[in-house]
Amino acid sequence: MFHLAHISDIHLSPLPALTLRELVSKRITGYVNWRSNRKGSMTGSTLDVLVADMKAQAPDHIAVTGDLVNLALDEELETAQRWLKTLGDPANVSVVPGNHDAYVPGALKKARRLWEPWMRGDLEAAENLPVEFPYLRIRGDVALIGVSSARATAPFMATGDIRERQAAKLGALLAETGKLGLFRVIMIHHPPVRGAAPTHKRLLGIGLFQRTVHKQGAELVLHGHTHLATQYNINGPDWQIPVICVPSASQGFDGNHKPPSAFNLFSIARTNAGWSCTMVERGIVDEQLTIRTLREHELTTGAVVTPA
Ligand SMILES: [Fe+2]
Ligand SMILES: [Fe+2]
């Protein structure tokens, strides 16, 4: 049994003081947005309580699907590196970046450098190569594949993309790990599903992503970005692939229109008929930051194996 925890949209707070130069960029819109929407409702204490509960479940691995920071200021990116160190051994924590981690041109490059140990595939780690997306990590029966949809966008836009180069490598990694009979988990920040995010926040290349997984197969897709607890299904070769989002790990219980902080825990096991994957959702249920199990259910995924 492999236990995989999923958290997303950390949006570490508080924001450091901004210089005038930093404000005179796309960041001015983000700063105003943060002041009006997030300050107060997205707090460090909420995140700390959630992470403590998640760690108490002793997951084998933690997937973090982006938006670790808010405006991608240097100080924020460094704070996020320190936070990742507290989260776990880089070998057991896999990160993909979100649009807020690539908020302005150049930011993603800095994030990649600072968060490299948590975003490097097995091959790159063994040969001391730089981060390359999508990356592949194999842990037990599970293949973790990290796709980057993060890119700097114009003000008021929060789109992401997947293009031919990443899609081709994603297809090759899915084919390779499919032949090995592994449970394939794709991590991506933006939802690879039409209508899951508003137009100005959507993923560009949804068709390309879906054609790739339809052809090669995957067992689970984890994403963030919408800050919602949702499940969609997309077509695999002959099964439906669950596509799951988790609320922001920093969202307080304060009547905000977004659901309070939560994480998902997947228990994955090989069975005679294929795969068993149980999903437990745990989250904050009151202002005292009490955490409870919100829902527990079995996901149906993967090819069904009929005994010969
Ligand atoms: Fe976010
Ligand atoms: Fe996002």
16 versus 48: the higher-pLDDT residue is 48
Which tens digit of pLDDT belongs to each residue from 154-189? Answer: 878 899 999 999 999 999 999 999 999 999 999 999
Whole-Å CA distances, 56 to 5, 269, 280, 294: 11, 20, 14, 17
Alpha carbon 198 to its chain centroid, in Å, reads 18
**CA-CA distance, 292 to 286, in Å (whole number)?**
10
| 238 Cα: distance to centroid of ligand 2 (angstroms) | 31
| 206 Cα: distance to centroid of ligand 1 (angstroms) | 19
- Ordered by start, the domain boundaries in the chain are 2-299
| 85 Cα: distance to centroid of ligand 1 (angstroms) | 21
| 17 Cα: distance to centroid of ligand 2 (angstroms) | 22
Peptide bond into 247 cis (omega under 30): no
Label residue 57 left, alpha or beta by phi (over 0 means left) and psi (-120 to 50 means alpha): alpha
Q: In this structure, are residues 94 and 187 in contact, taking their beta carbons and an 8 Å threshold?
A: yes
| 306 Cα: distance to centroid of ligand 1 (angstroms) | 41
**Residue 145: both structure tokens together:** 């594949």
Match 């297809």 to its residue by tokens.
171
**CA-CA distance, 66 to 60, in Å (whole number)?**
19
Which tens digit of pLDDT belongs to each residue from 64-79? Answer: 999 999 998 999 999 9
Distance between the two ends of the chain, CA-based, in angstroms? 24
- 29 burial level (CB within 10 Å; 0-12, 13-18, 19+): middle
| 104 Cα: distance to centroid of ligand 2 (angstroms) | 14
pLDDT score, position 304: 84
Closest CA to 7 of 76, 84, 77: 84
pLDDT score, position 82: 97
| 226 Cα: distance to centroid of ligand 1 (angstroms) | 7
Nearest ligand, measured from the Cα of 153: 2
31 versus 91: the higher-pLDDT residue is 91
Reduced to 3 states (helix: H, G, I; strand: E, B; else coil), residue 5 is strand
Residue 272: enclosing H or E segment and its boundaries? none
Nearest ligand, measured from the Cα of 258: 1
Whole-Å CA distances, 252 to 282, 288, 292: 14, 10, 15
Q: In this structure, are residues 93 and 65 in contact, taking their beta carbons and an 8 Å threshold?
A: no
pLDDT interval class at 292 (50, 70, 90): very high
| 189 Cα: distance to centroid of ligand 1 (angstroms) | 9
**CA-CA distance, 28 to 105, in Å (whole number)?**
15
| 176 Cα: distance to centroid of ligand 2 (angstroms) | 29
Answer whether residue 308 shows pLDDT above 90.
Answer: no
| 176 Cα: distance to centroid of ligand 1 (angstroms) | 31
pLDDT score, position 157: 86
Nearest ligand, measured from the Cα of 158: 2
* Average pLDDT score over the chain: 92
Nearest ligand, measured from the Cα of 189: 2
pLDDT score, position 43: 61
| 248 Cα: distance to centroid of ligand 1 (angstroms) | 7
Instruction: Count CA atoms within 13 Å of residue 108 on its CB side.
Output: 22
CATH 3.40.190.10 is right for the domain spanning 2-299: no
Q: In this structure, are residues 307 and 272 in contact, taking their beta carbons and an 8 Å threshold?
A: yes
Which tens digit of pLDDT belongs to each residue from 103-139? Answer: 888 999 999 999 999 999 999 999 999 999 999 999 9
Mean pLDDT of 25-45: 67
Reduced to 3 states (helix: H, G, I; strand: E, B; else coil), residue 248 is strand
